[in-house]
Amino acid sequence: MDQVAEPELPDSRLTTSTLPQGIDSASPFDEMMSRFDVAAQRLGLDPGLYKVLREPVRETKVSIPIVMDDGHIEVFVGYRVLHNIARGPGKGGIRFDKNVTLDEVRALAAWMTWKCAVVNIPFGGAKGGVICDPASLSRGELERITRRYTAEIMDLIGPEKDVPAPDMGTNPQTMAWIMDTYSMHARHTVTSVVTGKPLTLGGSRGRIEATGRGLMLICREAAPVKGLTLAGSRIVVQGFGNVGSIAARMCHEAGAHVIAVSDINGGIFNSKGLDATALVAHYEKHRTFEGFQGVERVGNADLLELDCDILIPAANENQIRGRNAPNIKAKIIVEGANGPTTQRADEILNQKGVLVVPDILANAGGVTVSYFEWVQDRAGFFWREQEVNERLEDIMCQSFRDVSTMAEKYGVSHRIAAYMLGISRVAHDTMVRGLYA
């Protein structure tokens, strides 16, 4: 493996679909399975259960024909993968991105299964994706894609079946369109069919910030493992979407020094720390770092290798790889993205003594507050933001402790421990339910 040269990464959003096979990032599903296999082996998982848990329940591909604004017809492709429903309805976001592949959606769906089990919420795992470039589509085109995609998967989703949510390229407006389309066909309003909705349409307070807040909490809990405190730690964040930008702001507000951040076009750096609160406000207004004073530019590849205490990759899959892992200087990596670190990179980082807090624990704040939103919609009773945040904090801290205990008990990395915890919970519940035949 080591002899195979890895291609240069032109930007932080390069995904596996453009990479040659046979190196550490050939397939997100293979990356997921390589960890699943190690965890299953350590657990002594029954071979029959292994077969049940690795196999997605259902994979759906739909065609989405749309009349574009200029009058011509375009056909988009969408997927929804339901990975597992042993512990409850499928749960997971919908991604709009030009690099979406079925393999990626399948991996993301499986990660949702383990993620929901790690934080012990009563959901299985699912994920959706539409191959499109949201930045180049008008609002009307996005709405038509969303509504047609929803209509195509209408029979498969529902509050008790499979509950979508936002992911890369989708947002509360997208969720409002999904909710409306589903509700129009049901002939009554069904808010709990989707989470991450606008506040006035059954959304939960704190949902937008939830993934970033969860990451900040995990940074705070993980810091002492390396003799650090979050306040005063030097933090680097890759990716400035909803996850990265809010994680940066929350870490800054907790007293950390956010020394560098990046978006798809590259990064900015200030060794004394950026005012991340002001930076998020600037970015919301201008959609670029251009014009933000007192910073140097840094490339996306160099950003990952900066001297810092905590690195938060919050962009895309396969960013930390065999090629750059040896150069990582962070003491702790807290994964905001799903699948940002390859198996090969994990091995290198473990050897170097870097603490990697895996995606299925670190970024679980989003789906945790999605669970709260689903509960509130079904109860028709909405919580104060403080209540949402306190419950989120309880779950994130408890889950970090559960994973750390597992890691210590079995002498494994936090990644393998998180998989072991998630898999053991799903395996247990599958056994208790039994197989219907």
Please list the active-site residues. Answer: 127
R_g over Cα of the chain: 21
Closest contact distance (angstroms) between CB of 366 and ligand GLU is: 4
Q: Which is nearer to ligand GLU, 105 or 165 (CB)?
A: 165
Residue type, position 345, single letter: A
| Binding to ligand GLU, residues 64-93 (CB under 6 A) | 91-93
Q: Which is nearer to ligand GLU, 16 or 363 (CB)?
A: 363
What is the rounded distance in angstroms from the CA atom of residue 358 to the CA atom of residue 356? 6
What is the rounded distance in angstroms from the CA atom of residue 361 to the CA atom of residue 405? 14
Among residues 150, 338, 343, 399, which is the contact residue for ligand GLU, using CB under 6 A? 338
Q: Is 366 in the site for ligand GLU (CB under 6 A)?
A: yes
Phi, psi of 259, rounded to the nearest 5 degrees:
-90, -20
- Structure token pair of residue 200: 């006035």
Q: Is 317 in the site for ligand GLU (CB under 6 A)?
A: no
Binding mask 153-182 for ligand GLU (x = CB under 6 A): ------------x-x---------------
| Binding to ligand GLU, residues 192-231 (CB under 6 A) | 195-196
Pairing of strands 266-269, 296-298: antiparallel
What is the rounded distance in angstroms from the CA atom of residue 53 to the CA atom of residue 425? 11
Instruction: Count the neighbouring beta carbons within 10 Å of the beta carbon of residue 227.
Output: 7
What is the rounded distance in angstroms from the CA atom of residue 274 to the CA atom of residue 24? 34
Binding mask 114-153 for ligand GLU (x = CB under 6 A): ----------------------------------------
Helix (H, G, I), strand (E, B) or coil at 239: coil
Closest contact distance (angstroms) between CB of 103 and ligand GLU is: 16
**Residue holding tokens 């309880």?**
394
Pairing of strands 73-84, 58-67: antiparallel
Q: Is 310 in the site for ligand GLU (CB under 6 A)?
A: no
Closest contact distance (angstroms) between CB of 370 and ligand GLU is: 3
Q: Is 367 in the site for ligand GLU (CB under 6 A)?
A: yes
Residues that bind ligand GLU (CB under 6 A): 91-93, 165, 167, 195-196, 338, 363, 366-367, 370
